[in-house]
Amino acid sequence: MKNFYSNKYLLLIIRIILGFIFIYAGAEKISDPEEFAISISNYRLLPTAAINFFAITLPWIELVTGILLIFGIAVKENSSIVFFMLLVFTIAIVISLFRGLSIDCGCFGKGTQIGLYKLGENTLMIIGTFLLMIFGSDLFKLKSE
């Protein structure tokens, strides 16, 4: 089964899909930072002073890591960043669900509610980033020679 998970084509597909997801998510948030700040605020997990900082910086981190994944640059390192972000997002969703909040997740702009479906999506992406952290993905990467 190890050979399946370390298959270079599977890892390439995971890398490309995650890259595009994070490029799209970051671009959506960059286009409307005020709406993203409101989404962050709705979780009621961060102090008010930190919300704008995260609303401005997090989307750029998502965008840049997504682009770097697409081009195959520092795949293990960027996968680690994405893994950490997904872990934090998932913990925030779980906490909010336990608190009975029915809020927009702030994932891709407006309209995506937190819930079991979102947890499932995040879990699949966490598994994908974990595989990339372990095995990397050298297929069709931008070479620096």
| 8 A C-beta contact, residue 114 and residue 97 | yes
Mean pLDDT, each 10-residue run in order, the chain (145 residues) = 75 95 95 92 93 95 96 94 96 93 80 86 96 85 61
| 8 A C-beta contact, residue 72 and residue 136 | no
The Cα–Cα gap between 60 and 92 comes to 20
Distance of CA 57 to the CA centre of its chain: 14
Q: Which residue has the tokens 């372990």?
A: 134
| 8 A C-beta contact, residue 137 and residue 76 | no
Please list, in sequence order, all residues whose beta carbon lies within 8 angstroms of the beta carbon of residue 47, skipping any fewer than 6 positions away: none
